[in-house]
Every structure is written in C-alpha cells, then in structure tokens.
Structure 1
Amino acid sequence: MKFYIALWFAKIINVIINIVDKSRGSNFSGEKAMKIDPQMVAHFKGIDYAKVLFITGTNGKSTTTNLVHHIFKSNGKKIIANLEGANLIYGVATALSKASTLTGKIKADYIIFETDERYLPLIYKQLPAENIMITNLQKDQVQRNGDPDFIYRKLFPTIGGNVRLFLNNEEPRTKSFDENSDKIITYGVERHEESFTKDGTYPTMACPKCRHKIVFDYYNNDGVGKFHCVNCGHRSDDTADYTVTDVNFADRSFKFEDVSFNMPYDTPYMCYNYAGALAVAKELGDISPAEAAKAFGEFKNVGGRFEILKYKGKTIKYMRIKQENPETLQTCINVMAADPEKKMVCLGLCPLIDMIPHYANSFYAFDCQLDKLVQSNVEKYFCFSDRVCYDTANRLIYEGVDKSMISIADTEEVDTIFKEIESVETDNIYLITWIHTFYYMKKYIEKEGR
C-alpha cells in the first residue's frame, strides 16, 4: 500500500509541475515519493530487466542516453528514459512514475537511464539492469567524488555477473571491467586526424589492475586512446567489437560497419558517444547500422552544449563543458587549437559549486596541455569569472602567452563579456562558460536585437 500512495503522490506532483513549468522538477516528485516508500523503484511491475540499460561514466552519458533514445524511438521502439539528466535514484523514480499506470505497471520496449557513476550501485539494488554501458571513469567533481579510483573502487565490485557490459575499449579503467562478465561488448574509435600524442612531461595514469604505468600510443580524446600497461598486459584491443572509422571532421562524416553516417556534431569526443550508441542499437535493439544512420540526421543534443550566437557580425561558438573535468576542457582546447583562423578565446572557468562549503579550485586548467592552442592563431585571450579568472590567466602565462594578449575580468556580467568581444578584430569567437552565463548572453542578444 505504501507503494501505491507514493506512486499516486508522485503523479499528482508531476501534474502540478507540468502545469507550472515543464522544464523543472525532474527529481522532485521521485524524491518526495520515496520518503513514503524508500523501495519505490523496486516495486514497479512489468519490467523486463533484460531490456533495461544503464549508461554511466564521467563524460558522455547524457549525450549517449539522448542519442540511444533517439535511435530507438526513430525505429519505432517505445522508450522510457531520463532525458533531463536526473541521474540519481530520485530521477529514476520520477521517470518511472510518469510512465507507469496508476497501478505501477510499466509498458515499454526498453528502459534507458543515465545513471550517476557514484550512485549506480544504489540504483542497481532496486532496478537490476542486465545491460550497463560505462563511457569512461576520469577526474571529475573532486569535492564530491574525490579521485577517479575512488569511484572505480565503488563500481568495480557491483558491476558484473549476468550483466552485459558495453565498455569503452580505449579508456583504461573502463576496459578493465572486461574481467567482470562473460558478456562483454567493446566499442571504440579508429585513429583520426584530430588524434594526438603527449610528451613525457605529462603523466598518464596508473594501471587499474596492477598500479604500474599506462602508456598511450596516441589519444583520440584526453585520457582515451590506444593504450597498454608496461607491466601486466592490460591493454586496449587492437580492434573493438564496434568501431567508428573513417572520421572526417571537415565533411562531418564517419563510417560504422561500412555504412556512412552524417556526424551531427563534429567534435572528437562525440565519436565515442556515436560508437557506444551504435553498439547498443545493434546488440540491444537489433537495429542495423543502416537503420540507425537514418536517425543521425535529425539528432539534436541536450540543449546548450554546442551552440552558436551571432553578435554584431561576430560568431560566438559556445562549448558547454563540465567545469569540474579536465578531460572535457582539454577536448575543447584541442577543438580551438585545430582552427587555423584567427580567433578570440574567452575562458569563463568558474568556482566549482557542488555542496557546502563552496570552494574555488582551478586544477583542471593546470591539468591541460595548452601548447597547441598557444601556437595557433589567437588574437586575444579573455579570462573572466569571479576568483578563478586570475588562475586561468596565470596558466596561460606559464604556457608562454604574453601578458599583453590577456584581458581579465573578475565578473560574469554579460555587458563586460560583450564589450571585450567587440574589442577584437576577428569575428571568430570561442566561448567556454557556465550554462547560466550563456543563457544570459543569449537573452541579451535577443533583447537588444543584435
């Protein structure tokens, strides 16, 4: 009876939120309902766990979840998913309560949930999915998660057994889960024109199996590429089970099993999202590459991650990243460095706010390799945001950037940002900042009609 009360309470809250603001409340009803029935998620009926997929990891889980959902839906599958990114157990409870009948019956072909990597064990206890994808396990949200090996130690004993694992072939921690199950599907990306190497001054990581050094032959993304351990033999397979090949960023295309695909977003880290989603589509959904390819032309990613603003004749290319994550910052730096045109680089790296007490930590900029960006055609750097702007500027100076090329503003006021953008000759502007600052900029342009 507790379950029914919790379910009906959640449904009432969902109706109210839908009337007030459809874009909000992706956790709220589940959180309140689970105070009534803490085991609410386990009590839903009609779930085939063989058709349940969790997508977890540091980077790419939101995009991959949205892409898998889009491919499946485009091919006539009925899907339940938490597309809003509410990836804790409360978000799962909310999504299921929205989709269920009044008696808690679930009717869907597949359930696909993005799950927070730290809290996946808790969710798994109530919803034992038989399919789990791990995108990567890297440095992220240090106030909450500590270091990646802490998350690895929480996940490793939980994931395995009868679970089919979709593993990133070219990320060392993720690939090491291949010993946990007999049902392993690997996915990867062939070396491409944006792949790169690092010299010995940049440390890699310790092998998750033996703690000796991991060596990367090359990187497709920062921390992801063909690798091997110098001691125990842990390595990426020469060829993954599902591999994206013939990546052409200029033509925005790639191949998968000899089928040509249009690339919705032409950034290197998206290629692993594509590979993982296509592996799931074929293995779980029995969707062929040709059928999946039709869906790619219509795919729109989570709002605000890759957007372009036009302002007084200037093109502002906004790249939304997780600001607690040096790997995503490095990838954005690589994208900017690869552009041969003259450009302005606006870095709004901000204080990290996970929980009380708030703190300012700028380690991620110091973890990144900036030499290629500095050697590219940059007219001006603009470092802004409260507090961290000075750390960002210092990181550029340590890399050899002349101080005269750097402007600093300890604010996120959009008037100040636009004034700096107006001051440069180039119309090619790259912007990294928090999503709320970008929204303010977008509204400012709409209001001013510029």
Structure 2
Amino acid sequence: MKFYLALWYAKAINGLINLVSKGRGSNLSGEKALKVDPRMVEHFKGIDYSKVVFITGTNGKSSTTNLVTHILRENGKTVVSNLEGANLLPGIATILAKESTMTGKLKADYFVFETDERYLPLIYDQLPAENMLITNLQKDQVQRNGDPDFIYRKLTSFMNPKMHLYLNNEEPRTKSFERFTDHVTYYGVEKHSESFEKDETYPTCACPKCYHKVDFDYYTIDSVGPFTCTNCGYSSEAAPHYAVKDVDFENKTFTVEDESFNMPYDLPFMLYNYSGALALCERFAGVSVKDAVPAFNSFKNIGGRFEVLHYKDKTIKYMRIKQENPDTLQSALNIMASDQEEKMVCFGFYAVSDFIPFYTNTFYSFDCDFKPLAESNVEKYFCFSQNVCYDTANRLIYEGVESSKIVIKDTDDIKTIFEEIEKADTSNIYLITWLETFNKMKKYIEEGN
C-alpha cells in the first residue's frame, strides 16, 4: 500500500507540473514519493533487468544517453529514459512513475538511464540493471567526488559477473572494470587530426592494476588514448569491438564498421559518445550499426564547437566547457590553438558554488597544456570574474605568457567585459566562461547595447 500511495502522489505532482509547464523536466515528484516509500523504485512491475542499462561516467553520459535513446526510438523501439529528469534515484523514480500505469506496471522494450557515478550504488540497490556503459572516470567536481579513485571504489562495490559492461577502451580506469565479468564490449576512437601529445611534465593516472605509471601513445581527448602500463603491461586493446575511424572534422563525417556517418557535433570528445552508443545499440538492443546511420542525421543534443555572438565589429566564439574538469578545457584550448589567425582569448572561470562552502580550486587548468595556445598568435588575454581571474592569469604566466599581454578585471559586470573586448585590435574573439555569463552577454547584445 505504501508503494501505491507513493506512486499516486508522484503522478499527482507530475500532473500539476505538466499543467504549469508541459514537458518540463523535474525530479520533484520522485523526491517526494521516495519519502512515502523509500524502496519505491524496486516495487515497479514489468521491468526485465536484462533490458535495463545504466550509462555513467565523468563526461559524456548525458549525450550518450540522449543518442542511444534517439537511435532506439528511430528504429521503432519503445524506450523509458530519464531524458527530462535528474540522474539520481529521485530522477529515476520520477520517470518510472510518469511512464507506469496506476498500478505501477511498465511496458517498454528497453530502459536507458543516465546515472550519477557517485550515487549509482544506491540506484543499483533498487534497480539491479544487467548492463552498464562507462564513459570515463576523470578528475571532476572535487568538492563532491574527491578523486577518481573514490568513484572507482564506489562502482566496484556492486560489480558482478552477471553484468555486461560497455567500456571505453582508451581510458585506463574504465577499461580495468573488465576484471569483474566475462561479458565485456570495448569501444574506442582511432587517431584523428586533432589527436595530440603532452610532454612528461603533465600527470597521467596510475595504473589501476599495479599503481605504476601509465604511458599514452597519444591523446584522442585529454587523459584518453592508447595506453600501456610501464610496469605490468596492462594496456588498451589493439582492436576494440567498435571503433570510430576515418574522422573528418572538415566534412563532419566518420566511419564505424565501414558504415559512413554524419557527425552531428564536431567535438573530439563526442566521438566516444558516438562509438559507445553504437556499441550499446547493437549488442544490447539489436539495432545494427547500419540501421543506426539515419538516426545521426536527426540527432539534436548540444552545441557544436562554439556558439557565435556578433558585437559591433567583433565575432565572439563561445566555447562551453565543464568547469572543474580538465578534459573539456583541453579540447577547447586545442581548438583555439588550431586557429593561427590573430585572436583575443577571454577566460571567465568562476568560484564553484554547487553548495556551501564555495571554493576556487583551479587544479584542472594545471593538468592542461596551454603551450600550443600561447604559441598561436594571441594578441591579448582577458581574465575576468571575481576571485578566480588572478588564478587564471597566473596559469598563463606559468606557461610563459608575458604579463603585458594579460588584462585582469576582478568583475562579473557584462558591460565591463564588452568594453574590454572592444579594445582589441583583432575582431577574432574566443570566450570560455559559464553558460550563465554567456547568456547575459547574449541578452546584452539583443537588447541593443
């Protein structure tokens, strides 16, 4: 009875939310319902755990979940997925309540859930999926996650031989989960025009098996690429089961198993999302690589390399990154460095304010190689935002950038930001900052300022 009360309560809240804003995602109903029945998720009926997959990891889980769901639906499959909700237990409860009957029965071909890597053991406890795709385990949100090895231990707590794991072949921590089961599918990305190397001064992860140094042949994205442990020989597979090949960023195409795909978004880190999604769709849901091709033509997810603002005579290319995370920052730096035209580069990193106490840890920038950018014809650098602007400037100085080329403004004021951009001789402007700041800048232009 407790389950039914929780279910009906969730459905009532979902109904009210739908009246206020149809299609709006929220985990509120699941959060409230779990207070009525804390074990609510395990009480839903009609879920075949062999048809459930969790998609987790530091980067790429949202994009991969969206793409997998899109491919399956385009191929006629019925899918329950938390695309609108959150990736914690309340988010799962919300979507299950939405999609179930009044008695809690669900009917779907597949259940595809994005899941937060830290809290996944709590979700698995009530929903023991037999399939899981792991994108990567990287440094990220140290206030919440500590270090990647902490998350690694969280995931190992429920791994078992029954699970089918879809593992990133070129990320050492992720691939090492192979030891828990014989049911493993590896996916990867071959070397492409934006693969790069970093010298010995930059850190790599310790081998997850013997804790000695891991060497990378090169990086396809930061901290990901073909690797070998210098001590025990643990390494990436020479030929993963699924691999993105023949990447052509100019024409936005790639191949998998000799099938040619249009590239919806030409970001290097998205290639792993494509590879993993295709592996999962074929082996988990029976949708062949060939049958997945048309779905890539209609996939909508996030922006491409950059969004563009036009302000007076300036073209501002906004590059969205995930702050606290070196991987997306390195990709952005590489893209800017590849433009050899004169440019101004604006960095607006912020204090992290997920929850109190706020902090300004900027370790992630020291994992990244700024040298190619520093050597790529930058007229000047503009470091803004309260507090963090000084750390940003110091990171540039440590890379050898002359302090005379760096302007620092300890402010978040949009007008001040534009005034500094106006002073640049070049019209070629690159911008890295929070989405909130970018949206304010966009609104500032739209209002005719």
TM-score between both structures, scaled by the size of structure 1: 0.96
Local SS of the residue matching 2:285 = coil
Does the 8 A contact of 2:259 with 2:289 survive in 1?
Answer: yes
TM-fit CA distance, 1:125: 0.9
Aligned-partner Cα distance in 2 for 1:233–1:158: 27
TM-fit CA distance, 1:422: 2.4
User: How does 1:339-350 map onto structure 2 within 5 Å?
Assistant: 339-350=339-350
The answer to whether residue 190 in structure 2 is matched with residue 211 in structure 1 is no
Does the 8 A contact of 2:207 with 2:229 survive in 1?
Answer: yes
| Per-residue CA distance 1:308-328 (angstroms, 9 max, x = gap) | 333334333222222111122
For the structure 1 residues 235 and 358, does the alpha-carbon distance in structure 2 shift closer, same or farther, using more than 3 Å as the test? same
The answer to whether residue 355 in structure 2 is matched with residue 386 in structure 1 is no
Aligned-partner Cα distance in 1 for 2:282–2:428: 40
Does the 8 A contact of 1:139 with 1:326 survive in 2?
Answer: yes
1:134 aligns with 134
Letter matched to residue 230 of structure 1: T
| Per-residue CA distance 1:121-176 (angstroms, 9 max, x = gap) | 11011111111000000101111111111111111231232111000000000000
Aligned-partner Cα distance in 2 for 1:407–1:433: 16
Does the 8 A contact of 2:57 with 2:117 survive in 1?
Answer: yes
TM-fit CA distance, 1:101: 1.4
TM-fit CA distance, 1:275: 0.5
1:44 aligns with 44
1:290 aligns with 290
- Mean alpha-carbon deviation: is it higher for 303-312 or for 431-440? 303-312
1:434 aligns with 434
TM-fit CA distance, 1:85: 5.9
Please list every run of 5 or more consecutive structure 2 residues that lacks an aligned counterpart in the other structure.
Answer: none
Aligned-partner Cα distance in 1 for 2:342–2:204: 31
Aligned-partner Cα distance in 1 for 2:127–2:408: 49
Does the 8 A contact of 1:80 with 1:112 survive in 2?
Answer: yes
For the structure 1 residues 104 and 309, does the alpha-carbon distance in structure 2 shift closer, same or farther, using more than 3 Å as the test? farther
1:32 aligns with 32
Please list every run of 5 or more consecutive structure 1 residues that lacks an aligned counterpart in the other structure.
Answer: none
Local SS of the residue matching 2:447 = helix
Local SS of the residue matching 1:6 = helix
Letter matched to residue 415 of structure 1: K
Percent identical? 65
1:69 aligns with 69
For the structure 1 residues 304 and 294, does the alpha-carbon distance in structure 2 shift closer, same or farther, using more than 3 Å as the test? closer
Letter matched to residue 179 of structure 1: R
Aligned-partner Cα distance in 2 for 1:346–1:19: 42
Does the 8 A contact of 2:266 with 2:304 survive in 1?
Answer: no
User: How does 1:324-343 map onto structure 2 within 5 Å?
Assistant: 324-343=324-343
2:356 aligns with 356
Aligned-partner Cα distance in 1 for 2:7–2:305: 33
Local SS of the residue matching 1:293 = helix
Letter matched to residue 149 of structure 1: D
Letter matched to residue 196 of structure 2: F
Local SS of the residue matching 1:228 = strand
TM-score between both structures, scaled by the size of structure 2: 0.96
- Mean alpha-carbon deviation: is it higher for 188-197 or for 436-445? 436-445
Aligned-partner Cα distance in 1 for 2:305–2:247: 21
Aligned-partner Cα distance in 2 for 1:333–1:339: 10
1:308 aligns with 308
Local SS of the residue matching 1:113 = strand
1:444 aligns with 444
TM-fit CA distance, 1:6: 0.8
For the structure 1 residues 358 and 210, does the alpha-carbon distance in structure 2 shift closer, same or farther, using more than 3 Å as the test? same
Aligned-partner Cα distance in 1 for 2:133–2:56: 6
Does the 8 A contact of 2:25 with 2:84 survive in 1?
Answer: no
Give the root-mean-square deviation of aligned CA atoms.
1.7
Local SS of the residue matching 1:103 = coil
For the structure 1 residues 414 and 23, does the alpha-carbon distance in structure 2 shift closer, same or farther, using more than 3 Å as the test? farther
Aligned-partner Cα distance in 2 for 1:33–1:157: 27
Aligned-partner Cα distance in 2 for 1:395–1:202: 14
1:103 aligns with 103
1:184 aligns with 184
For the structure 1 residues 227 and 167, does the alpha-carbon distance in structure 2 shift closer, same or farther, using more than 3 Å as the test? same
Aligned-partner Cα distance in 2 for 1:269–1:424: 31
1:227 aligns with 227
Aligned-partner Cα distance in 2 for 1:357–1:265: 36
